[in-house]
Amino acid sequence: MADSPEKRIIEAVGFIGVVGSLIFVGLEVRQNSISIRAATNAAVAETYVAVNLAMASSPELSKAMARNAVNPEGASVEDKVQILSIWRALFHTWSNVHRQHINGTIDPAIYQSVVQEASVYAGKLANLEMSQELEQRAQAMRWAWANERFLFNPDFQVFVDGILATEKLTVQ
C-alpha cells in the first residue's frame, strides 16, 4: 500500500515543524545559558563591590587590619571578629565563583581572575615582587583560612589548600 501524496506532504510538514521546534528550543536554551552566565557574573561583581565598600567604609575594620597586619593571631577578640569577617566574606565570594566554575555558569575569565587573586594573596605568584604588604596579606590569609576553613565545602577546601600548598605560579 503506497502512501498518498497528501500523507507525504503532511509528514514532511510535520517533520519540518519538529525540526523547527528543536532549533527554536536550542536557541532558547543557548540564550538562557548566556543570561544565567551574565547574571552570575554580575552577582560576583556586586559581591566584590560589597566587600570593598565594607573595607572602605569601616574605620574600625581598617584599623583592625592595620593594627594586626603582622600578627593577626595576637589581635584582640574584637579585632579578630572584624578581620575574620572580611576574610570570610572574601572566601565566600571565591567559594561561589569556584562552585559556579564547577557548574559551568561563570565566565572562565572571572574564574581565572579569582585564581590569580587568591594566588597573589597567598604569595604564590613567581613573577610578582612580594612587598611587605603582600607578605603580610599572605600570612593573614593563611591565618584566616586556618580559622575559617571548616565553614566551606570540601571541593573549595581542596581548591584553597591547593593554592596555599603550590609552588609559586607564573601569571601570563
- Judge contact between 55 and 62, C-beta under 8 A: yes
- Kindly tell me if the per-residue pLDDT of 171 is higher than 50: no
Q: CA-to-CA distance for 126 and 171, rounded, in angstroms?
A: 8
- The answer to whether the CB of 44 falls within 8 A of the CB of 90 is no
Provide the pLDDT for residue 130: 67
Distance separating alpha carbons of residues 66 and 75, to the nearest angstrom: 11
- Spatial distance between the Cα atoms of 148 and 87, rounded to a whole number of angstroms: 9
Among 73-77, 126-130, 146-150, the least confident range: 126-130
DSSP string, 22-75: HHHHHHHHHHHHHHHHHHHHHHHHHHHHHHHHHHHH-HHHHHHHHHTSS-GGGS
Q: How far is CA 132 from the centre of its chain?
A: 26
Residue 61, pLDDT > 70, answer: yes
Q: Is 146 or 17 the better-scoring residue by pLDDT?
A: 146
What's residue 142's pLDDT? 93
In this predicted structure, what is the pLDDT of residue 80?
A: 94
Which whole number is the average pLDDT over 92-111?
91
pLDDT reported for residue 83: 93
Mean pLDDT of the chain: 85
Across 119-140, b (16+ Cβ under 10 Å) vs e yields bbbbbbbeebeeeeebebbbbb
Mean pLDDT of 84-98: 94
Q: How many residues does the chain have?
A: 172
Q: In sequence order, what are the residues at sequence separation of 6 or more whose Cβ sits closer than 8 angstroms to the Cβ of residue 151?
A: 88, 91
Domain limits, the chain: 41-165
C-alpha cell at 155: 571541593
Quick one: pLDDT at residue 168? 57
Q: What is the pLDDT of residue 2?
A: 64
